[in-house]
Amino acid sequence: MAKKCEFKSLPDSNLERRRNLSFDFLYPEFEVPKYLKEFAQGKKYFIFTFGCQANHRDSEIMGGLLEKAGFSQTFSEKDADLIILNTCAVRENAEQKVFGKIGNLLHLKKSKPELLIGVCGCMVQQKHIIEYINEKFKHVDLIFGTHNSTDLLLLLNDVITKRIRLIDVKSIPGDIVENLPSSRESKFKAFVNISYGCDKFCTYCIVPYTRGKERSRKMKDILDEVQELKNNSYKEVTLLGQNVNAYGKDFNDGTTFAKLLEEVAKIGIPRVRFLTSHPWDFSSELIEVIAKYDNIMKYIHLPVQSGSDEILHLMGRRYTRDQYIALAKEIKTKIPDVALTTDIIVGFPNETYEQFLDTVSLCREVHYDSAFTFIYSPRNNTPAAKIKDNVPSAEKVKRFKELVKALEEDITKHSENMIGKVYDILVEGPSEKNPEMLSGYTEKNKLVHFKGGINLVGQIVKVKILESHTYSMIGELVNE
Ligand code: 5AD
Ligand code: SF4
């Protein structure tokens, strides 16, 4: 018999829009519910993460919480006693992948009825998705949202002790919870959250609703976390926020991202990165800090989304094509040899072919080192989704391919320029395609494969580039 379902809270799109709701900074003493502690003994968890780095970081924290309770990690679904899917809602195809995955887990649950399945993350911040999962996938035991993922142990305890299915998805901005345990994916590269949520409300984007109001972590808490990573010999740290440049604005005391970045750089981890920058908030002060510190990577991801002023206006991006190009030029002048990358959306509602060509010409002017390109995907309750669209999807696919081709010309040139030069590579591990080779990234995030001993994993080594394959390079170790 199916378990009873308790609806503790459901997302509310009116609340998600509001920005005047308050939140707290919490430094809780950590306690595992007693029953859960007994339950977790000898049991294994598996977290499947979809989407962006923020989700990966949330999964690391959920993993840390579960390990405190006594669960251990497995990477095999079949071995798991608890499977959590941490989901992404940014485009429809991301959601389809999650539904496919949930459906696939049914056979596992049938062969192992005591298996617990949880679904969390951005996708379930939408009421219609919860209704769909609840109707179609009764094998899901727990649904919780982005604002209460740090309550995971309490939620699980309820599911187990009350023998219920539980849905608890909040829409108020989550408190900033510090002192949480975490099980990091890597022993040498780390993500560090600096802010949560987004207040930009680009008209196509669901993130301001699913992740809520923009909230900055206190600078001291961020610096303490980076210092601890340094003490543990981490080689790279990436500061994370939906819009890192807005960091500190909510404190109203003059705190800026530039100041935070400078303090992080001074701690001395060899590689400091940050993601993602909105062109609107990118200050000259920030450009100067990036130029000044050798350990801040000269790699800037600067989403443009479109090269047409009309489309940028409809997207609510708050800058013009000329302002973006001027910013790119200022960055390139003050940080010679910087790598610029971007995100672009093709086929925004009613985009004309001429407006699309404005995007292509902007790319040819900026000469991106790399780019993520997406076909526009309408998202429930966003302003853009209400616009009636007259562009056929076949036309959008055609434009998408045309843009990728134009971008690849520049990307290939950048890659070919690397041949014969020596680069510092942070070694990730054996190459996915050829385990005989190692893979790693340059300071500017180019993927390089080369032969070397497994003892080099986690080290920064010098590699000479021999061949270019547009998105990855082949090289050889240089003995110093
Ligand atoms: N459709 C297509 N792409 C989108 N992105 C965000 N929302 C949408 C959408 N509705 C893209 C943007 C953003 C990246 C993370 O995802 O380019 O920068
Ligand atoms: Fe979405 Fe725009 Fe915020 Fe980025 S800045 S998360 S695209 S609303």
Q: Tell me the residue range of the domain where 249 lies.
A: 191-416
- Which ligand sits nearest to residue 345's alpha carbon? 1
- Single out the residue in 137, 168, 199 at which a domain terminates: 168
Residue 47: half-sphere exposure toward Cβ, Cα within 13 Å? 28
pLDDT of residue 250 exceeding 90, the answer is: yes
Which residues have C-beta within 8 Å of that of residue 445, sequence separation ≥ 6? Answer: 297, 299, 339, 341, 370
User: What's the token pair of residue 348?
Assistant: 């925004």
Average of pLDDT values for 450-458? Answer: 96
Confidence of residue 480 (pLDDT cuts 50, 70, 90): low
* Site residues for ligand 2, CB cut-off 6 Å: 198, 200-202, 205, 207-208, 242-243, 278
Determine the pLDDT at residue 281: 87
User: Does 345 contact ligand 1 (Cβ within 6 A)?
Assistant: yes
- Identify whether residues 152 and 46 lie together within a single domain: yes
Average of pLDDT values for 413-423? Answer: 97
- Identify whether residues 332 and 462 lie together within a single domain: no
User: Does 343 contact ligand 1 (Cβ within 6 A)?
Assistant: yes
Contact 63, 70 (CB under 8 A): no
- Ligand 2 atom with minimal separation from the 201 CA: 8
- pTM comes to 0.96
174: in domain: no
Q: Which DSSP helix (H) or strand (E) runs through 116?
A: strand 116-121
Domain count, the chain: 3
CATH of residue 434: 2.40.50.140
Ligand 2: centre distance to CA 278 (Å): 8
Which residue's CA lies nearest to atom 1 of ligand 2? 205
Total Cβ atoms within 10 A of residue 161 = 12
184: in domain: no
Ligand 2: centre distance to CA 199 (Å): 8
74: in domain: yes
Q: What is d(CA 281, CA 257) in angstroms, rounded to the nearest whole number?
A: 10
CATH of residue 29: 3.40.50.12160
- Ligand 1 atom with minimal separation from the 378 CA: 10
pLDDT of residue 13 exceeding 90, the answer is: no
- Identify whether residues 304 and 276 lie together within a single domain: yes
176: in domain: no
- Which ligand sits nearest to residue 343's alpha carbon? 1
Cα angle vertex 437, ends 436, 442, to 5°?
170
- Identify whether residues 249 and 130 lie together within a single domain: no
Determine the pLDDT at residue 1: 57
Determine the pLDDT at residue 470: 86
Determine the pLDDT at residue 197: 96
